[in-house]
Amino acid sequence: MKRKTLTQFLIEQQREAGTLQPQLRLLIEVVARSCKAISHAIGKGALGGVLGSLESENVQGEVQKKLDVIANEMLLEANEWGGHLAAMASEEMETIHLVPNRYPKGEYLLLFDPIDGSSNIDVDLSVGTIFSVLRAAETASGADVSEQDFLQAGQTQVAAGYAVYGPQTILVLTVGAGVHEFTLDREIGSWVMTDTNIRMPGGKREFAINTSNARQWSPEVTRFIDERIAGKDGPIGTDYNMRWTGSMVADAHRILKRGGVFLYPRDVRQPGKVGKLRLMYEGNPMAMLMEQAGGAATDGEQRILSIEPSSLHQRIGLIMGDPAEVEAITTAYRE
């Protein structure tokens, strides 16, 4: 069977399916090239001087890894000159990055988490990059773009995806017409389609959660997890597996391909914060991918993609995966 590259797929979506605008196709190709460069940097590890932490903190108050900053710069530099963007926002930056005046402006907004799971970098575990694409308001172009233009509900996204840097480098993408997977062929430098129209398997007895936070969980989450840990002897009467890598991209990818449910719920550690994950850089793009694959995503009370964001770095609780499991925890919150 003839192998289909990412470029071929995108051109088909543009010409035949009519689901992709030319500027959006170019934007996705540039993001994919950036992920390829990030993969190369990660692959060098200590040999490339990308391991370890810096003395700086990001806007979230988190100590930055060297690769956080390197990947952030790679994505900014690769995307600012192509003419398809009006502005960008990153989990690593306090405010938005406007396209410099010397470059043409486009009609899209790009948001990204340059390195998800960066605590895994130094111990050679999987990390990833997450991205989301929004359409800029017709009245906003160039210097007129503000943070407010980014504060759109996730259901307005025109594309979302992530890269997993693991044993293979994988790019998972949706442009609103299903979820498709591409694997980087390092010998020829191309993204090659390895799965298409991905549908999340239902009924898989597996969950992903950081159990070290159990003492801070709400009673609803505690009961949900306790029932599954009890297995055959508990009220559900079925044994479950638990997996957790500390990289949401890796954990979510496993859920997307194998089924089950991922939980990073809000907890009581910091009353002023309703969760740890970021709505704009993690929740929205992952929720779009999950829904496109037949899954569901909620903060425990409402659909992620329906949340109207209030700030660029808004935090949320996130529960996503098998619709039946997501509904079970949502029902517990509701009751």
When pLDDT is cut at 50, 70 and 90, the band that residue 1 belongs to is low
154 and 212 inside one domain? no
283 and 141 inside one domain? no
191 and 213 inside one domain? no
Question: Given 143, 165, 195, which residue is the final one in a domain?
Answer: 195
264 and 238 inside one domain? yes
Is 118 one of the annotated binding-site residues?
yes
pLDDT in tens, 8-34: 999 999 888 677 899 999 999 999 999
Is 237 one of the annotated binding-site residues?
no
pLDDT at 57: 56
Q: What are phi and psi of 82, to 5 degrees?
A: -75, -15
List beta partners, residue 315.
Answer: 278
Question: Given 174, 195, 216, which residue is the final one in a domain?
Answer: 195
Sheet of 296-298, strands arranged across? 241-242, 206-208, 261-264, 318-321, 296-298
The answer on pLDDT for 139 being more than 60 is no
pLDDT at 272: 58
Is 116 one of the annotated binding-site residues?
yes
Is 239 one of the annotated binding-site residues?
no
The mean pLDDT value for 54-66 works out to 64
Residues 206 and 240: beta-carbon distance below 8 Å: yes
Question: DSSP assignment, residue 34?
Answer: H
183 and 298 inside one domain? no
Mean pLDDT of the chain: 90
Is 105 one of the annotated binding-site residues?
no
The mean pLDDT value for 288-315 works out to 96
pTM of the model: 0.93
When pLDDT is cut at 50, 70 and 90, the band that residue 67 belongs to is confident
The answer on pLDDT for 118 being more than 90 is no
pLDDT at 91: 93
Question: Given 195, 226, 241, which residue is the final one in a domain?
Answer: 195
166 and 242 inside one domain? no
162 and 219 inside one domain? no
The mean pLDDT value for 97-125 works out to 89
In a domain, 1, yes or no: no
113 and 179 inside one domain? yes
14 and 80 inside one domain? yes
In a domain, 118, yes or no: yes
In a domain, 201, yes or no: no
CATH number of the domain that 289 lies in?
Answer: 3.40.190.80
The answer on pLDDT for 166 being more than 60 is yes
pLDDT at 48: 74
Both structure tokens of 51: 């391991």
In a domain, 126, yes or no: yes
pLDDT at 274: 76
Is 119 one of the annotated binding-site residues?
yes
219-229 helix and 323-334 helix, angle to the nearest 10 degrees: 140
Domain span holding position 217: 206-334
In a domain, 49, yes or no: yes
Is 56 one of the annotated binding-site residues?
no
In a domain, 305, yes or no: yes
CATH number of the domain that 182 lies in?
Answer: 3.30.540.10
In a domain, 200, yes or no: no
pLDDT at 59: 59
Q: How many domains does the chain have?
A: 2
Cα distances from 44 to residues 40, 77, 122, in angstroms, run 7, 21, 12
pLDDT at 223: 93
Is 276 one of the annotated binding-site residues?
yes
In a domain, 29, yes or no: yes
The mean pLDDT value for 166-181 works out to 95
When pLDDT is cut at 50, 70 and 90, the band that residue 295 belongs to is very high
Is the pLDDT higher at 327 or at 54? 327
Residues 275 and 268: beta-carbon distance below 8 Å: no
The mean pLDDT value for 90-112 works out to 92
pLDDT at 54: 63
116 and 232 inside one domain? no
List beta partners, residue 174.
Answer: 160
